[in-house]
């Protein structure tokens, strides 16, 4: 066992803790930003920290620190136990039963460690150069970034748990500016993988340029209620907003839109949603959760019907169920409940075929103001950018437009699901294909 963890567990027990858990994480970061054919900034770092959770008479104590010298560790134990004295006792506060934790392959690239820093720097420079070369209306790149990181997690507890895993992530981000007359529009794209070799620089540059240039000449349109097509990124953002409602913690605290709806139809029949922390390419994949419980694939909505919620050990105990391996945390927090890789299952028709079903409607490429959505009522009224659709084709770009509705209503009004799934970070690592929504009110001029 890790020396620090052993010390913390022994000392906490000696001071009266009945159960103890140590969450330790460390990681590396390497980020390069390019601007005007030069490195703008480079960040390289390693970081680490410890979170200590104690249980005494069913009261949770928690404290964290980034220091590891003996006085800091002693202070950490004192603080966790002191904090625990004030917390409400709850019989559901227990550590998970000790069960075997299966391995999960593919989280670490064998090429990650050996990647040459110069190559990473070149990636950022190339990303900027490539993006500027595509379209004469895009002459400037406001952000061209290469970033990677490795993360290492260890969990130990007084029930004998000793678990650890490593994960690597690399990504490139490009943000470009398209200009025409006095108008400016920005466009963004990203590419991700386990190492630099798995990134697609050209595709990202091209997509960002198309996104920005495609919006030039955008005009407001009149207010109307029309069929709405959500680009996979926009749909994945809606999925991310819904993510919190799958948490049993939110259900217990009456903050979930889906409370009391297990077994009921909460979406159209063609909608199936899963949270899968073992997804092979999922950037949120992990062999076990923030309490050391094995990850699993959780079907949340099957053919429109809500199957259940996501649980950590606490919510499982409170509802007399099983943990779904959904404890999320950093060393700075106690385990809460959250999504990992949240996926809306793709359908069988192509994006083009889906668009072909729309004679007159709106294609939404980006939603703005997602942080304004009320996750408890599900009501939203969001700004958007996108294009008008005429006879299945994207035509003129639109701006200063709002689309309003309710998250559940949107799920219920899905009338077509395409096959073109794409992922973004939106709370969790969220993936969705293009969706056609029967009709939503769109506010314009």
Partner 1 sequence: MPLVDQSLVDSVIKRALASGADFAELYVERKRNQSISVEESKVQRVSSGNDRGAGLRIIHGGVVSYIYTEDLSSDGLLKTAELAAAVGQRGGGRFALGQVTGTPHAPQPVEVPPESVDPEAKIELLLEADQAARDVSGSIRQVAVAYGDSAQEVLVANSEGMHHEDARTRVRLMVHAVAERNGEIQTAMEAPGLQRGFEFFDETSAAAFARAAAERAVMLLDAAPSPAGSMPVVVGNEFGGVLFHEACGHGLEADFVSKGSTVFGGKLGQAVASPIVTAIDDGTMPSRWGTLGVDDEGVPTRRNVLIQDGVLVSYMFDRLRAGQQGHQPTGNGRRQSYQHLPIPRMTNTFISAGAHSVGDIIAATPRGLYAKKLGAGQVDVSSGDFVFAVTEGYLIEGGRIGRAVRGATIVGNGPRALHKIDMVGNDLKLAPGSCGKEGQMVPVSVGQPTIRISELTVGGTGVVRPGAMQV
Radius of gyration of the chain (CA): 24
- Sorted by sequence, the CB contacts under 8 Å of residue 99 that are 6+ apart come out as 293, 294
Q: Contact 343/421 with Cβ under 8 angstroms?
A: yes
Shorter beta-carbon distance to partner 1: residue 12 or 65: 65
Of 37-45, 98-106, 298-306, 429-437, the segment contacting partner 1 by CB under 8 A is 37-45
Q: Contact 254/263 with Cβ under 8 angstroms?
A: no
CB of 81 to partner 1, least distance (A): 11
CB of 380 to partner 1, least distance (A): 8
Taking CA 162 as the corner, what is the angle to CA 194 and CA 278, rounded to the nearest 5 degrees? 35
CB of 33 to partner 1, least distance (A): 9
Residues 60-99 that bind partner 1 (CB under 8 A): 60-67, 72, 75-76, 79, 82-84, 86-88, 90
Q: Contact 256/440 with Cβ under 8 angstroms?
A: no
Closest Cα partner for 368 from 397, 330, 402? 402
Q: Which of 223, 303, 360, 395 is in the footprint of partner 1 by CB under 8 A?
A: 223
Sign (positive or negative) of CA dihedral 432, 435, 437, 438 = negative
Shorter beta-carbon distance to partner 1: residue 117 or 321: 117
Please tell me the distance from the alpha carbon of residue 327 to that of residue 277, in angstroms, as a whole number: 11
Residues 224-283 that bind partner 1 (CB under 8 A): 224-225, 253-255
Q: Is 286 exposed, middle or buried (0-12, 13-18, 19+ CB in 10 A)?
A: buried
Q: Which of 7, 35, 388, 425 is in the footprint of partner 1 by CB under 8 A?
A: 35
Does residue 149 bind partner 1 (CB under 8 A)? no
Q: Is 58 exposed, middle or buried (0-12, 13-18, 19+ CB in 10 A)?
A: middle
Q: Which of 180, 360, 374, 393 is in the footprint of partner 1 by CB under 8 A?
A: 374
Helix, strand, coil in percent for the chain, rounding step 5? 25, 40, 35
Q: Which of 235, 334, 408, 411 is in the footprint of partner 1 by CB under 8 A?
A: 334
Shorter beta-carbon distance to partner 1: residue 43 or 262: 43
Does residue 444 bind partner 1 (CB under 8 A)? yes
Give, rounded to a whole angstrom, the gap between the first and last alpha carbons of the chain. 65
Does residue 360 bind partner 1 (CB under 8 A)? no
Site string for partner 1, 172-191 (x = CB under 8 A): -----x-----xxxx-----
| Residue 173 C-beta-side C-alpha neighbours within 13 Å | 12
Shorter beta-carbon distance to partner 1: residue 72 or 203: 72
Of 155-163, 350-358, 387-395, 437-445, the segment contacting partner 1 by CB under 8 A is 437-445
Of 159-167, 281-289, 368-376, 423-431, the segment contacting partner 1 by CB under 8 A is 368-376
Of 2-10, 128-136, 217-225, 290-298, the segment contacting partner 1 by CB under 8 A is 217-225
């Amino acid at each position: 066992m890790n020396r620090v963890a052993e010390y913390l567990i022994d000392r906490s027990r000696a001071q009266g803790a009945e159960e103890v858990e140590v969450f330790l994480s460390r990681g590396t970061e390497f980020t390069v930003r390019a601007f005007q054919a030069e490195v703008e900034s480079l960040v390289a770092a390693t970081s680490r920290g410890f979170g200590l959770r104690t249980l005494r008479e069913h009261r949770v104590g928690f404290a964290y620190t980034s220091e590891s010298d003996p006085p800091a560790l002693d202070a950490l134990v004192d603080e966790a136990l002191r904090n625990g004295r004030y917390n409400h006792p709850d019989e559901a506060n227990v550590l998970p039963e000790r069960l075997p934790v299966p391995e999960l392959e593919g989280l670490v690239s064998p090429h990650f460690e050996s990647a040459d820093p110069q190559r990473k720097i070149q990636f950022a420079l190339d990303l900027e150069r490539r993006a500027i070369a595509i379209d004469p209306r895009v002459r400037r790149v406001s952000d061209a970034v290469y970033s990677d990181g490795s993360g290492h997690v260890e969990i130990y507890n007084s029930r004998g748990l000793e678990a650890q895993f490593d994960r690597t992530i690399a990504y490139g981000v490009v943000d470009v500016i398209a200009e025409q007359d006095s108008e400016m529009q920005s466009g963004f794209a990203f590419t991700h993988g386990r190492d630099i070799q798995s990134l697609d620089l050209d595709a990202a540059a091209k997509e960002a340029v198309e996104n920005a240039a495609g919006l030039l000449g955008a005009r407001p349109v009149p207010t109307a209620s029309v069929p709405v097509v959500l680009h996979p990124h926009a749909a994945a953002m809606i999925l991310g907003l819904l993510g919190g409602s799958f948490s049993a913690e939110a259900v217990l605290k009456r903050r979930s839109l889906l409370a009391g709806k297990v077994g009921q139809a909460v979406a159209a029949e063609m909608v199936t949603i899963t949270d899968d922390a073992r997804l092979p390419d999922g950037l949120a994949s992990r062999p076990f959760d923030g309490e050391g419980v094995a990850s699993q694939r959780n079907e949340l909505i099957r053919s429109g019907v809500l199957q259940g919620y996501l649980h950590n050990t606490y919510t499982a105990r409170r509802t007399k169920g099983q943990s779904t391996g959904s404890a999320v945390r950093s060393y700075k927090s106690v385990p809460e409940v959250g999504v990992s890789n949240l996926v809306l299952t793709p359908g069988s028709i192509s994006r083009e075929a889906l668009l072909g079903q729309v004679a007159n409607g709106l294609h939404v490429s980006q939603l703005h103001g997602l942080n304004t959505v009320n996750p408890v009522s599900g009501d939203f009224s969001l700004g958007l950018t996108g294009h008008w659709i005429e006879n299945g084709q994207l035509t003129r770009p639109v701006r200063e437009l709002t689309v309003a509705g309710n998250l559940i209503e949107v799920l219920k009004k899905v009338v077509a699901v395409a096959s073109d799934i794409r992922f973004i970070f939106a709370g969790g690592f969220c993936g969705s294909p293009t969706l056609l929504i029967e009709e939503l009110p769109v506010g314009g001029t």
